[in-house]
Amino acid sequence: MTESGDVGWSAARAHAARNRDRLLQSAAEVFARDGVNASLRDVARRAGVGIGTLYRRFESREAVLAALLADSFASLNALRAELESRDDATGSLIEWLSALTDEMRAFPGVPDLVVRAMVDDDSRLHELCRNMARTGGALLARAQSSGGIRSDLTIADLLRVSAAIATIEEQGAERRKSDESTASPTASRMLDIVLDGLRPRSP
């Protein structure tokens, strides 16, 4: 390729990267406002591109969401590495689950999306969710080995608990928009209550 061709190719790649970044930023804003089923045309319009450009970068809604959630889920893996160095295995698991619940609240509808993607091999989010489950599973096994969490509990159970709490938080936020006096328990408090019931009981 000639030098001018190299320059043209580099410019085209830079332009494509800028379009992708704008689309993801716009998607994050639109999904935060309207949920994961928001109009992709709204996403494209907000990014200043046509819907065709969006579909050239991302072949589906799930592809957009996978790109948005990848960094969030990667941060959970990084957190696991930090938590595994601590002595309190049960406390480490609870902290990780609290962080997971926060990540699931990124956009309305993410909790249900994650639960469905866990069992749907064809979902673009499936591998992301499976990796996340493996990360949490390692912390769960450590907490169980320490005797802090019931041995019959699975990571799938905990992911569903986290998703349910995130959903309750979503619904509470919606109610508070219409009635500021509405109070609802925080995600961390609900998680503490649930996990207290998952600790081994003395006979």
The predicted-structure confidence for 43-62, as pLDDT tens digits, reads as follows 999 999 999 999 999 999 99
Confidence of residue 146 (pLDDT cuts 50, 70, 90): very high
| 100 domain residue, yes or no | yes
Q: Which amino acid type is present at position 159?
A: L
**Number of residues written out for the chain:** 203
Question: Pick from 39, 58, 77: which residue ends a domain?
Answer: 58
The per-residue pLDDT for 202 is 58
Look at the chain and report how many structural domains it folds into.
Answer: 2
Q: What is the pTM of this model?
A: 0.80
Q: Please indicate, yes or no, whether residues 118 and 171 belong to a single structural domain of this protein.
A: yes
Q: Quick: pLDDT tens for 70-109.
A: 988 889 999 999 999 999 999 999 899 989 998 998 899 9
Report the chain's mean pLDDT, rounded to a whole number. Answer: 85
- Residue 189: its pLDDT value, please? 76
Joined together, the tokens standing for residue 201 give 């009981």
Q: Residues 143, 160: one domain?
A: yes
Mean of pLDDT values over 157-162: 91
Give me the domain span that covers residue 187: 62-197
| Pair 39, 109 in one domain | no
* pLDDT at residue 12, as a whole number: 63
User: Residue 185 pLDDT > 90, yes or no?
Assistant: no
Instruction: Compute the C-alpha angle 103/184/190, nearest 5°.
Output: 55
Residues 9 and 67 in one domain: no
Q: Which two tokens stand for residue 49?
A: 């591109």
Please give the torsion angle defined by the CA atoms of residues 166, 117, 113 and 91, in that order, rounded to the nearest 10 degrees.
10
- On whether residue 202 sits in a domain, the answer given is no
| CATH number where 2 lies | 1.10.10.60
- Residues 6 or more apart whose CB falls under 8 angstroms from that of 145 comprise 89
